[in-house]
Amino acid sequence: MKKNLIITASDSKYYDFVKNIWLKSLKDNVNLKDIDILILDYGFTEEQRQDLIKQGIKIYSCKKDGAVVIIRYRDCYSYLKDKKYKTLLACDSDLIFQDDISELFKRDIDQIKTVCEDIAPPMNEFVFSNKVFSNELTKEMRQILKAEKMVNGCMIVAPREKFLQICQSMNNLIQNKSLFGPDQTLLNYLLYKQGFLKLDKTYNFVLTTVYEGFNIENGVFYDIAGKKIKIVHNAGGSNIFRPVDNFGYGPEYNKKRFITYHLLRIFYRMNFLTNLFLRTLGFFK
């Protein structure tokens, strides 16, 4: 067992992407000398499992009895409770690594580290309106989160003990584990309540919500200053709003959808100006 661990989750449907895109980009770009790789298995075939194991990947079989974005916290805790890893990086599998991020395991190792989104959907209000949490907890969540940027919980770095505490809270406080959204709201509440280090967006560059845009050259993503982005995240539930076609890793992938891309830029600027106006009037005090 190595000192640190990277965790993601997948099933047979997304096996090809995880193996040929997510994992390949990780191995090509990240110094894994002190880092193990774990995939939570929510339905791989036995052939797929064995293929990943042969590549040195740790596989943990899980029961898919809810939304994976929620139950993965329960299963992370189950796997990690008797493992002595020092620092953990938990991330979604719909992203690519374009540069080394092993420095995240070496600096500020006592802190939780993650990225905040530039523009976020009204996720919290959707969750609150569905009365997922008690009235008392909902009131406290509203108070803590009302003026904060949304943490994107799809890439989080944390020391083992703090990550296990998050996993326990997520499992205990979300009773209905099939709902959409409560994991993101609860994670934001927990992080803002206890404190965390905000990382530069290059460590979780969300294509659908980043404000200033990006460029693509030979399949590689760069920010508007021309710097290669470390982690590119193709988040979103619908391809309609995704500004990139054929997302992947390599020169044959990643073609910008110019109409969608520029429409998103216009929307984000309007959203920014609206929020600025409301803050000026004191709506977010």
Q: Which of 147, 176, 202 is the last residue of a domain?
A: 202
Query: Do residues 173 and 264 both lie within one domain?
Result: no
In a 3-state reduction of DSSP, which class is residue 238?
coil
Domain count, the chain: 2
pLDDT score recorded for residue 213: 84
d(CA 49, CA 57): 9
Query: Do residues 196 and 210 both lie within one domain?
Result: no
Convert 180-205 into a string of H (helix), E (strand) and C (coil): CCHHHHHHHHHHHHHCCEECCHHHCE
- For residue 229, the one-letter residue type is I
Per-residue pLDDT of 52-86, as tens digits, reads 999 999 999 999 999 999 999 999 999 999 999 99
pLDDT score recorded for residue 278: 41
Please report whether residue 285 resides in a domain: no
Q: Which of 155, 174, 202 is the last residue of a domain?
A: 202
The stretches in the chain having pLDDT less than 50 are 276-279, 281-285
Please report whether residue 165 resides in a domain: yes
Query: Do residues 165 and 246 both lie within one domain?
Result: no
Alpha helices in 96-180 (DSSP H): 123-129, 135-145, 160-173
Query: Do residues 234 and 249 both lie within one domain?
Result: yes
Query: What is the residue range of 261's domain?
Result: 206-280
pLDDT score recorded for residue 284: 40
CB atoms within 10 A of CB 238: 7
pLDDT score recorded for residue 281: 45
Please report whether residue 220 resides in a domain: yes
Alpha helices in the chain (DSSP H): 15-17, 24-29, 46-54, 68-80, 123-129, 135-145, 160-173, 182-194, 258-280
Which of 112, 70, 275, 123 has its CA nearest to residue 196?
112
Could you tell me the CATH number of the domain that includes residue 113? 3.90.550.10
Cβ proximity of 62 and 74 under 8 Å = no
The DSSP-derived string for 260-285 is HHHHHHHHHHHHHHHHHHHHHTTTT-
HSE of 2, CA atoms in CB hemisphere, 13 A? 17
d(CA 78, CA 87): 16
